[in-house]
Amino acid sequence: MASVLFRGSRWYAKYRDHRGKWVRRPTTARTKTEARRLADDMERRCERQRLGLEPVPDEDGGGTISAMMSWWLATYSVRLASHERNKLTVKAHLLHSELGELRLAEVSPGAIERFLQAKSDSLGPQSLNHLRAFLMSGFSAAKRAGRFSGINPAKEVQRRKVARRTPEYLRVHEVPLVLADVPSKWQPLFATAIYTGLRRGELLGLRKRDVDVDARLLTVARSYERDTTKGGHADVIPIAKELVPFLREAMDRSPSELVFPAPDGTMLSSHTPLEDVLRRTMKRVGLVLGYVHVCRKKGCTYSEPAKDALLRRCPKHGMKLWPKAKQRAIRFHDLRHTTASLLMMAGANPAAVQRILRHSDPRITTEVYGHLAPDYLRAEVDRLQFFPDAKVQLEPVPVAVNAQLGPMVVQAPPAGPSTDQEPITKPLEKPSIKRARHRGFEPLTYGSGGRRSIQLS
């Protein structure tokens, strides 16, 4: 039976552990009653462990978070397409953190939540969700491998809400401008990205034997040097008619089995600055948000925003202003968004767009790009018809304003003998809509509370 004793300034709990041996542990209890309650709880938990009703904790507490995440990177993450990014993120934020020094048995949902809160000043919600996902994957893998026997604490941590960003993409008239001005060595690569929607790694890992120009079919089976894609399976997509000459040119120029290799035939690095190529091209053809004209004189801070890059001069020194382009926040990956967006805007079937982009779930396609479809919800909102037969334009009506009654319609007196009567006035009435609103403490009010409403007659 569990017991308690007081030594120095602390209460100790004495109970039998999961092996049946007597142990004595210090507690944070302030009273004997509280210490007794803790000792009884520990005794019952160890009894459940002896009976096999609860998992037995590891002797070393399961190791540290840092050791677990290093093991997860080397055992599980290494097989993933995102391994390099996973390794950089885990090393930067988890391995050498205070949380990483905790033993697995000591980690609680609260400890993970405090860790994420401390990171919230430097990381966005999506990055915090990635850290939570890494921890959850690490604990799940450790539990399957027998390194950890408790409950996954990361599952109890709530995901951060991430604002949905409308994807950036090139408009229809912008695509010819970009493809015409991009350097010739990059032109086939950029054209293939726009016409197929392939990801960067899928483009750089594309082999000649995966392209059947005659049948106009392209097999997406690799990402960089890995024999698998992000989705983990191979897919066959059609080749657009306009893309055929670009692919033929790329394969004719390539000295290796790759369609888009480096000049020596090896695979281009994942760090190839394709975004810089895209943004410089857009800057040259004027696809920017605008310009900021700044003075060239040293020490002068004068600047002037403008929509064009025409010559301007500094009003202080008369020197020419230097136009700096305000570039759009577009990435190379946004060429994939361009493929989907322009297909949807052209009226393509969403199911076909989903197959071309190889989304695992059709809902991803409709949720991200559905609003670009020509008839997206338009037919449904047109069901709200309150004037289906209103085809005649109303003639303008002379209006007088009464200080107390508001707008009034001035009606001319009936035709007949001249009379000295004043024109007849009556309150202006809209034929079908009345807006309910407050009028202070007037005798007649419409509506109630602080709300406005629309009444349909």
Alpha-carbon distance values, 188 to 197, 207, 215 (Å): 13, 14, 19
Kindly report the length of the chain: 457
How high is the pLDDT of residue 448?
Answer: 45
Contact (Cβ atoms closer than 8 angstroms) between residue 211 and residue 153 = no
Nearest-angstrom CA–CA distance, 110 and 154: 9
Amino acid identity of residue 309, one-letter, is A
- Which residue ranges in the chain fall short of pLDDT 50? 392, 394, 397, 399-412, 419, 423-457
Residues 17, 11: Cα–Cα separation, whole Å = 18
Which backbone phi and psi does 174 adopt, to 5 degrees? -85, -25
CATH of domain 65-156: 1.10.150.130
d(CA 402, CA 70): 80
Closest by CA position to 286, among listed 302, 308, 264: 308
Q: Are 47 and 64 in contact (CB under 8 A)?
A: no
Whether the Cβ atoms of residue 440 and residue 433 lie closer than 8 Å to each other: no
- pTM over 0.75? The answer is no
Q: Assess if CATH 3.40.50.80 describes domain 164-287+329-381.
A: no
Can you read off the two tokens belonging to residue 253? 């120029």
pLDDT at site 57? 61
The 10s digit of each residue's pLDDT in 38-56 is 888 888 888 887 887 776 6
pLDDT of residue 403: 46
Residue keyed to tokens 């994957």:
137
- Which tokens in the block code for residue 167? 């994807």
**Tokens (6 digits) for 134:** 């890494």
pLDDT at 405: 44
The predicted-structure confidence for 321-366, as pLDDT tens digits, reads as follows 999 999 998 999 999 999 999 998 888 888 899 999 998 888 888 8
What is the chain's Cα-based Rg?
Answer: 35
d(CA 156, CA 177): 50
pLDDT for 445 equals 44
d(CA 232, CA 119): 32
Residue spans per domain, the chain: 3-50, 65-156, 164-287+329-381, 290-326, 399-412+422-456
In degrees and rounded to multiples of 5, residue 244 shows phi and psi of -55, -50
DSSP H/E element including 292 = strand 290-295
Answer whether 65-156 and 164-287+329-381 agree in fold.
Answer: no
Three-class DSSP category at 17: coil
